[in-house]
Amino acid sequence: MARDPRREQMLDAAARLFSRKGYAATSVNELAAAAGFTKAGLYYHVRGKEDLLEAICAESVAAILDDVEQAVAGDANPQRQLSAVIEAHVRFFHAHPERLTVLNLEMTRLSAPRRSKIVRLERRYLDALRGVLARGMDSGELARLDPSVAAFSLLSIVNGLNNWYDPKGPVGCDALIEHVKRIYLRGIVASAQPA
Amino acid sequence: MARDPRREQMLDAAARLFSRKGYAATSVNELAAAAGFTKAGLYYHVRGKEDLLEAICAESVAAILDDVEQAVAGDANPQRQLSAVIEAHVRFFHAHPERLTVLNLEMTRLSAPRRSKIVRLERRYLDALRGVLARGMDSGELARLDPSVAAFSLLSIVNGLNNWYDPKGPVGCDALIEHVKRIYLRGIVASAQPA
């Protein structure tokens, strides 16, 4: 997906404010200032605060989904597909941690029609992940577990990063990816498979 | 911990309301009615809405912590200790799902001194878990991973249950515990260990 760097900066700046002050307490003036825009400049890009919240949530899920769907299409091995899912999600989080915080904590502020667009994207991500798991279980490469428990255990690990992980802390992005792969993939491969 | 059943019912009723309507939108009248009290009856137990929120959060963490500390003291094997942690947390969630939803989503509504009491309990839980992991890594029974990533991966799975798991759905409490043990424990045992 080609992304406009100025727009990406605006979304990161808005996500930083929303994640620190909360969506409700953040003003359009603050959003414009944080993004280095005049208020008029901000209104050139978006119609208001809710547009920004929607864009942060929708474009975050869409960006991860895009990588996940490409990775799943490009490799038929379920363990490598799952590795690619982990890598896509963790790399996006590492680059834009506040966006996932906002997605986790503030998405409920969106009106129902805006929220349902994002829920549809999340559903596609979940379906892609459950598909990988189901095919791996059918082929015997993955353990026969409940697909929802297996899928949401991984999603909980990667979506929970904003609660504790500091992208500037001692564990770098690559090490974090290796840890999540190690913990999750070994947990779900079939017993006879090498981890 | 001996618990007053009438008080427990009151906390569950309040947690149900807070998790459905949000803390801010819930009135004392609604809380009293949901718990089967008059307003005066409710005020016999608590001084107000914030007391209820604090009790839900603090007593949930305290109850899990109690089970976790007992389990860790009662067995020296790190895999069995971790199994007991998983079991304590999942069983509490299964019995009181709305309390953990409130803890996850509404704890920030508490004043700073009330919140810091709960943060101290959470820290004790985290320390207990990190202690088990560190001892298991030192003895070679667990893989040498970053203790924070290992601890928070488990906490993310069990704390994330309220986002997707339906206690009345097809996966029962025991099956859920077995799944989490299978996924997480196999993920972190040392390679030479049988999972």
Residue A27 in tokens: 């003003």
Chain A positions touching B183 (Cβ under 8 A) are 145, 149-150, 153, 184, 187-188
**Nearest beta carbon to residue A182 from set B145, B163, B164:** B145
Q: Does B25 touch chain A (CB under 8 A)?
A: no
Residue type, A190: A
CA distance to partner chain A, nearest, from residue B24 (Å): 13
Nearest-angstrom CA–CA distance, A115 and B58? 32
pLDDT tens-digit series, residues B140-167: 999 999 999 999 999 999 999 999 999 9
B109, B129, B149, B191: which to substitute to probe chain A, counting the most A Cβ within 10 Å? B149
Query: What is the average pLDDT across A46-65?
Result: 94
- Considering the domain delimited by B50-188, tell me its CATH architecture: Orthogonal Bundle (1.10)
pLDDT tens-digit series, residues A109-141: 999 999 999 999 999 999 999 999 999 999 999
CA distance to partner chain A, nearest, from residue B63 (Å): 22
A90, A149, A158, A176: which to substitute to probe chain B, counting the most B Cβ within 10 Å? A149
Nearest-angstrom CA–CA distance, A81 and A66? 14
How many other CB atoms are found less than 10 A from the CB of residue A140? 11
Confidence tier at B195 by pLDDT (50, 70, 90): very low
For A17, A160, B86, the CA distances from B159, given in Å and listed in that order, are 25, 9, 11
Q: Which residue of B has its CA nearest to A170?
A: B146
What pLDDT does residue B193 have?
Answer: 47
A103, A153, A161, A178: which to substitute to probe chain B, counting the most B Cβ within 10 Å? A153
Residue B62 CB-density burial (10 A; 0-12 exposed, 13-18 middle, 19+ buried): middle
Confidence tier at B2 by pLDDT (50, 70, 90): low
Query: What is the average pLDDT across A53-79?
Result: 93
Q: B152 and A163 in contact by Cβ < 8 A?
A: yes
Structural domain spans, chain A: 58-188
| ipTM for this prediction | 0.89
Q: Does A25 touch chain B (CB under 8 A)?
A: no
pLDDT tens-digit series, residues B20-74: 999 999 999 999 999 999 999 899 889 999 999 999 999 999 999 999 999 899 8
Domain at A58-188: CATH code? 1.10.357.10
What pLDDT does residue A188 have?
Answer: 80
Q: Does B157 touch chain A (CB under 8 A)?
A: yes
Q: B163 and A152 in contact by Cβ < 8 A?
A: yes
What pLDDT does residue A192 have?
Answer: 54
Chain B positions touching A148 (Cβ under 8 A) are 164, 171
Confidence tier at A194 by pLDDT (50, 70, 90): very low
Can you say whether the dihedral through the CA atoms of B177, B155, A191, B75 is positive or negative?
A: negative
Would you call A189 helix, strand, or coil by DSSP? strand
